[in-house]
Structure 1
Amino acid sequence: MPTSSKWFLSLALLASSSVAHAANIRVTDLAAYRAAVPRLQPGDTLVLAAGNWTDTPLVFSGKGTAAKPIVLKAERPGAVQLRGQSSLRLVGEYLVVIGLDFRNGYAPQGGIIEFRDGSNGLAYHCRVTECVLDNFNRPSSNKDDKWIHFYGQYNRFDHNYIAGKKTSGVTVVVELPTPESRENHHQIDHNYFGPRPRLGSNGGETMRIGLGETSLSASRTVVEDNYFYHCNGETEIISVKSGENVVRRNLFDECEGSVVLRHGNNNLVEGNYFLGNGKEQTGGVRVINAGQRVRGNYFADLTGRDFRGALVIMNGIPNSPLNRYAQVRDALIENNVFVNCANVELAAGKSAELSLPPTGVVLKNNIFYSPKLPNPFHVYDDISGLTFSNNALQISGKGPDIKGLDAAVLTVQKSADGLLVPTPKGAPKTTLHRPLTAAEAGPGWFRPTSTSATPRVGRIVPAATADDLQRLCKAAKPGDVIELTKTSSYALAQPLVVTVPLTVRAKAGLATRPVLTAKGAQPLFLMENGGWLRLKGLAFDGAAATTAGLIQSSAQPILDHYGLWAENCAFYNLKGADSQVFHATTATFADTVQFANCQFHDLGGSALSLATETQNLGTYNAEVVILRNCLFRNVQGVVLDLYRGGKDESTFGPFLTVDHCTFDNVGNTAGPVLKLTGVQHSTIQNCLFANSATAGPAIQYTELGKAINTLSNSNFYQSGKVEAKFPPRTAKLTYLPTAFVAPQQLDYRLKSPVPALPTATDGRPVGYLAQQ
């Protein structure tokens, strides 16, 4: 068993560690590499020749010493490009890996990097530094795929760039399955954790330390001086599930989520910066379990609420199993600064199950500065177990009546880094250590480039026939715009497969919309990996539509998020009871689905179905769904079926907005009009429901966990009621007769005299306003 002394060498020491008898061995292929590894001695350096190494599983084994590590490095940093099905396994002692580049591939089994080689042994005192892991994803997003696995003890992962993880599974995981991997003293430092998009299910953490089953064991992992940018996979950025870990001096830049002390005791969160910049769902620290310390952190412009607040102290479960919520006990929260943070949640999560308020918690010498907010504190249960001492509070309202949380006038200065630093009047100036910059994290040889999901506009190309449209779509480059130049029918023999950001629109000035229809039972558009589709000014005749829908996501699991926007389009003439305008399939995830200024009429089936993720694990089909200024007439089925099953709190969505829509003769055969299952945030406003869902609910809410639902400024006439176990927040709902000018001609202006309907939230009439 190796000794437990700490060993972290700098790159400068590594460069000088070789001695006269050390070998410097250069290999050019996997066979030569495998032949060289068994002969390596302490102090040797194995050099991988520059170039592409495709389908290269590297097992790096050996026993170096603290003074003479064995080194595996690229011939030049970044010049060894591991592609295809490649991976790295370290097994042994005092091994160092430098400068590898993992892109355009995936590890078929296990992680990309593991500090072990299966049953052949673990790694001790080993280091991986100056490497890049970028978009190294398995082909399917729903397969669990953890990238970096820590086992053994005293291993270090530093100055690496890790970004673009789109699959389910934690990016970096510290495993504690056996005593040989506990009390491990691993160090994770100076890494640049780049963007991780929302996963749409549990398992999207950037880092997890431990597991519920082993959470009462100490890990003693140190996570320090890392830069986290747009790590948005789920609500837990770092999920601590073990004891005696340290999370310090990291910077979290616009990350949707929190550092969560999920399981395990006696952890320290110290000196970190949480900068939300007003971005939605940005959070800070969530406290659970016993003996946690949160001190000297800086929180600014965070908007997250509930479990994603700037500071969240949870309620617990009596006799909680290891994988649930132990009571918060004996926590210390001190010397933290909160600037313009929207929410501080105390005794959060209170329910019949989470019934134990926190106890023995001390909050002292903290500063809460939110001068434009009336009160960021939300108290959900008894907080007599919390002791407040010498905390300063400046807000616009009265604030909570808590002794030791005292109203104060704060002096505010701007630091050299541009951060607001408030200090109580008369007290010594608050001092903070300098925050880490992005330039100080990651490999010295690599800097990430700025990317956008929606590229600049590319070519604008005309399509006069269906054959033109098929050919141009197949050859499209990112950002291309295909303009339909004829008002005649475009009858498509095959689906238009979308694999890049693409716009298909009517040429300006046409008298009527170009009409897309299918020659056979098939979708018109099929969303595949890389597809972002914008439709404008088109008509869709569904006479030959399949049950899969006029537009649908891939029939196979896809890795990348897709997006769909339709504006000023018409969808009609769907005959089958199972037919749909849009159908989201399993194991596909939309960043946004939006229909604006659109008309849906004479549909035998449903309009929009996003309800295929029915395994009830918190997974769903789309993050944001928007219906704005749309008309739905003579739709026999559901207008929108949006489903998120299960009570998992690790994900944020879906987010639904229905605004200025009119529903006439909708859902009378297979209602309701809007079927919302487990939707986390919904706003339905400024709508008219007429002659719809007469045999059932017009809106059916099925809440499976915490949800924020708002229904306002809408009228229901000869329509079903609202069905909900936990009614939404409502305002200005009416039930008045409505009549329209010429429904058969889709003229949905209200007949005079206009009934006393509520005014819309934007001051205009409620309901569909025709084309805007």
Structure 2
Amino acid sequence: MIRAVLVALALVLFIPTPAQAGGPVRVDSLAELQQAIDAAQPGTRIELADGTYVAESPIAISGKSGLTITAAKVGKAEITGPRGFTFSGSHHIVLRGFKLTTTQTLRVPSTSTHIRITRNHFELTTAADGDHWLGVDGDDAEIDHNTFANKTNLGVYLPISGPDGKIAQRTWIHHNYFFNHQFTGDNGGEPIRLGLSSKQLLTANAVVEYNLFDKVDGDPEAISVKSSDNVIRYNTIIRSEGSIVLRHGNRNRVEGNLMFGGRSGIRFYGNDHVIVNNQVSGSAGSGIVIGSGSVIDDTTSTGNDRPDRVLIAFNTLVGNAVSITGEGNRPFEPHDCVVANNAVVGSGAQLVTMPRGEVGFRWEGNLLSGAPGGDLPASGFRALDPKLSADSSGIYRPSGRSPAVDAAVGSYPTVTLDVDRLARTGAKDVSADERRPGGPRRHPLTTADVGPLAP
């Protein structure tokens, strides 16, 4: 009884104070953390000491702005238990450096904007199938340098949605590590789901870049795009069942992604996408899948929208079980797409298979080697070895004597850079790489480049 009274008195009397003028407010319990949040003014930085903390009630961030709430040392303050952080009516908040092992999903609601979730380790202990880990409904969220690891049941690591009739705007997802999602079903275990079928025609303006996906096997889709006008670029996917899938929506750009040894590469539906400068190598499935449609110009259904006017250009496809394939299981063939200046090296009976055919395609400037072109018209390719060689990091580049150098057909002004983010100048090279002596070169992302402790 005496101890309980003393604890209660301590909580009443606790007034968090900075260690020095303008310095952080340091706390070492969840009760102190909540009081510090409640008392904080814009510009306050609150630091939680190392330790493991059981959250029996929400850690509420309500009606606040301009705060940084952080572990004193990245990864050394663990929040566990049935509750965790909650946001309401807040903006310009940074949540940083925690290890989160709660059973409660962390949510950024539509009432909270400009929320940054950075340098946290997510390994939630959600028991129910379908529970997600970090849900974003608010505009201008930044999700960066986090780890999402070891999920074994149904649910998405990071779904982006929004309130009814709207979608979260300008979400920026970068330098995260998505690891080891081993849900054994065949749908509903994506690392990132960007939108919903009902929101597919809404413009989200999200950017998903510089993320590493490793052993993400919970779904055939590692990045599942179900909205419009997004950019998916410079990500690395290795050893994964999941691939990049434009499942719903229009006008998305997929650029400069590196995909090694997985189930498949890039698959798309919908209209007016740009898919350029990507490398898919060593896939057990298809390098690029040109979808077929169960519907035309979809609006809100879960059907597969026939692809129209998609640009697939300057990609490198090497050593995949199937290089470029269409789908034959739906009634509507793709229309008016352009497949140009791709370097394809493979094997098997043919490199391009379009079982349902296509309408109004333009095939040009492609270099194919290792097997017949198949369903690609003779005017759309040259059967020449592009003489690609893998550098030490596994990125395939044209050699000095490659017929890919300066051989691109057409100008393609929307393709100004190559896989290294360097300018394509003069006559463009076929493949994702524009050959040049010296200069900076990209490498596939590793764990040193992403996650809480990365630069």
Give the TM-score band, short-chain normalised.
0.7 to 0.9
> How far apart are the structure 2 equivalents of 1:31 and 1:198?
36
Assess, with a 3 A threshold, how the Cα gap between structure 1 residues 198 and 180 changes in structure 2: closer, same or farther. Answer: closer
> How far apart are the structure 2 equivalents of 1:364 and 1:257?
25
Assess, with a 3 A threshold, how the Cα gap between structure 1 residues 186 and 269 changes in structure 2: closer, same or farther. Answer: same
Aligned with 2:33: secondary structure?
helix
Aligned with 2:32: secondary structure?
helix
Following superposition, the deviation at residue 395 of structure 1 comes to 1.4
Residue among 114, 117, 120 paired with 1:125: 114
Which residue of structure 2 aligns with residue 377 of structure 1?
352
Aligned with 1:47: secondary structure?
strand
Assess, with a 3 A threshold, how the Cα gap between structure 1 residues 384 and 344 changes in structure 2: closer, same or farther. Answer: farther
> How far apart are the structure 2 equivalents of 1:442 and 1:194?
11
> How far apart are the structure 2 equivalents of 1:241 and 1:312?
17
Q: Pairwise mapping of residues 298-317 of structure 1 onto structure 2 (< 5 A)?
A: 298-304=279-285, 309-317=286-294
The residue type equivalent to 2:289 in the other structure is V
> How far apart are the structure 1 equivalents of 2:386 and 2:351?
17
Q: Pairwise mapping of residues 65-214 of structure 1 onto structure 2 (< 5 A)?
A: 69-91=66-88, 92-103=90-101, 105-107=102-104, 111=105, 113-116=106-109, 122-134=111-123, 136-140=124-128, 143-178=129-164, 181-182=167-168, 184-214=169-199
The residue type equivalent to 1:84 in the other structure is G
Deviations 1:20-53 (A, max 9, x none): 9646222232322222222211110111122111
> How far apart are the structure 1 equivalents of 2:295 and 2:161?
27
Residue among 430, 435, 453 paired with 1:444: 453
Q: Pairwise mapping of residues 703-742 of structure 1 onto structure 2 (< 5 A)?
A: none
> How far apart are the structure 1 equivalents of 2:398 and 2:350?
17
Deviations 1:543-588 (A, max 9, x none): xxxxxxxxxxxxxxxxxxxxxxxxxxxxxxxxxxxxxxxxxxxxxx
> How far apart are the structure 1 equivalents of 2:293 and 2:404?
39
> How far apart are the structure 2 equivalents of 1:22 and 1:153?
30
The residue type equivalent to 1:128 in the other structure is I
Which residue of structure 2 aligns with residue 273 of structure 1?
258
> How far apart are the structure 2 equivalents of 1:311 and 1:98?
37
Which residue of structure 1 aligns with residue 426 of structure 2?
none
The residue type equivalent to 2:387 in the other structure is T
Assess, with a 3 A threshold, how the Cα gap between structure 1 residues 90 and 265 changes in structure 2: closer, same or farther. Answer: same
Deviations 1:307-346 (A, max 9, x none): xx22111111245552111111111111100011111454
The residue type equivalent to 2:278 in the other structure is N
Aligned with 1:195: secondary structure?
strand
Q: Pairwise mapping of residues 449-488 of structure 1 onto structure 2 (< 5 A)?
A: none
> How far apart are the structure 2 equivalents of 1:314 and 1:396?
22
2:202 is aligned with 1:217: yes
Which residue of structure 2 aligns with residue 332 of structure 1?
311
Following superposition, the deviation at residue 271 of structure 1 comes to 0.4
Q: Which has the higher contact order (CA 8 A, sep 6+)?
A: 2
Assess, with a 3 A threshold, how the Cα gap between structure 1 residues 153 and 22 changes in structure 2: closer, same or farther. Answer: farther
Q: Pairwise mapping of residues 17-56 of structure 1 onto structure 2 (< 5 A)?
A: 22=22, 24-56=24-56
The residue type equivalent to 1:386 in the other structure is F
> How far apart are the structure 1 equivalents of 2:212 and 2:84?
24
> How far apart are the structure 2 equivalents of 1:243 and 1:426?
33
Aligned with 2:34: secondary structure?
helix
Following superposition, the deviation at residue 375 of structure 1 comes to 1.9
> How far apart are the structure 2 equivalents of 1:440 and 1:434?
10
Following superposition, the deviation at residue 90 of structure 1 comes to 2.9
Which residue of structure 2 aligns with residue 466 of structure 1?
none
Following superposition, the deviation at residue 130 of structure 1 comes to 0.9
Q: Pairwise mapping of residues 371-410 of structure 1 onto structure 2 (< 5 A)?
A: 372-397=347-372, 399-402=374-377, 403-410=379-386
Which residue of structure 2 aligns with residue 243 of structure 1?
228
Following superposition, the deviation at residue 242 of structure 1 comes to 0.4
Aligned with 2:448: secondary structure?
helix
Deviations 1:653-699 (A, max 9, x none): xxxxxxxxxxxxxxxxxxxxxxxxxxxxxxxxxxxxxxxxxxxxxxx
Which residue of structure 1 aligns with residue 421 of structure 2?
none
Q: Pairwise mapping of residues 728-767 of structure 1 onto structure 2 (< 5 A)?
A: none
8 A Cα contact 2:179 2:214, kept in partner? yes
Which residue of structure 2 aligns with residue 704 of structure 1?
none
> How far apart are the structure 1 equivalents of 2:454 and 2:309?
45
Following superposition, the deviation at residue 179 of structure 1 comes to 6.1
The residue type equivalent to 2:443 in the other structure is R
Following superposition, the deviation at residue 171 of structure 1 comes to 1.1
Which residue of structure 1 aligns with residue 267 of structure 2?
286
Aligned with 1:173: secondary structure?
strand
8 A Cα contact 1:393 1:407, kept in partner? yes
Following superposition, the deviation at residue 188 of structure 1 comes to 0.6
Assess, with a 3 A threshold, how the Cα gap between structure 1 residues 398 and 138 changes in structure 2: closer, same or farther. Answer: closer
Following superposition, the deviation at residue 420 of structure 1 comes to 3.1
Deviations 1:170-209 (A, max 9, x none): 1100013346644x11101000111111432421111101
8 A Cα contact 2:353 2:374, kept in partner? no
Deviations 1:526-545 (A, max 9, x none): xxxxxxxxxxxxxxxxxxxx
Instruction: Name whichever structure is richer in strand by fraction.
Output: 1
* Runs of at least 5 residues in structure 1 that lack an aligned partner in the other structure: 1-17, 447-772
Deviations 1:422-473 (A, max 9, x none): 4642624633743323210101179xxxxxxxxxxxxxxxxxxxxxxxxxxx
Deviations 1:96-120 (A, max 9, x none): 11110023x422xxx2x2112xxxx
Assess, with a 3 A threshold, how the Cα gap between structure 1 residues 329 and 219 changes in structure 2: closer, same or farther. Answer: same
* Runs of at least 5 residues in structure 2 that lack an aligned partner in the other structure: 1-17, 407-428, 435-440
8 A Cα contact 2:342 2:366, kept in partner? yes
Cα RMSD over matched residues?
2.3
TM-score by length of 2: 0.82
8 A Cα contact 2:175 2:210, kept in partner? yes
The residue type equivalent to 1:36 in the other structure is A
Assess, with a 3 A threshold, how the Cα gap between structure 1 residues 272 and 219 changes in structure 2: closer, same or farther. Answer: same
8 A Cα contact 1:246 1:267, kept in partner? yes
Following superposition, the deviation at residue 383 of structure 1 comes to 1.8
The residue type equivalent to 1:217 in the other structure is L
Following superposition, the deviation at residue 222 of structure 1 comes to 0.7
8 A Cα contact 2:345 2:385, kept in partner? no
> How far apart are the structure 1 equivalents of 2:366 and 2:208?
28
> How far apart are the structure 1 equivalents of 2:188 and 2:260?
23
Higher CA-based Rg: 1
Aligned with 1:164: secondary structure?
strand
The residue type equivalent to 2:25 in the other structure is I
Matched length: 399
> How far apart are the structure 1 equivalents of 2:246 and 2:220?
12
The residue type equivalent to 1:327 in the other structure is R
2:332 is aligned with 1:356: yes
The residue type equivalent to 2:91 in the other structure is E
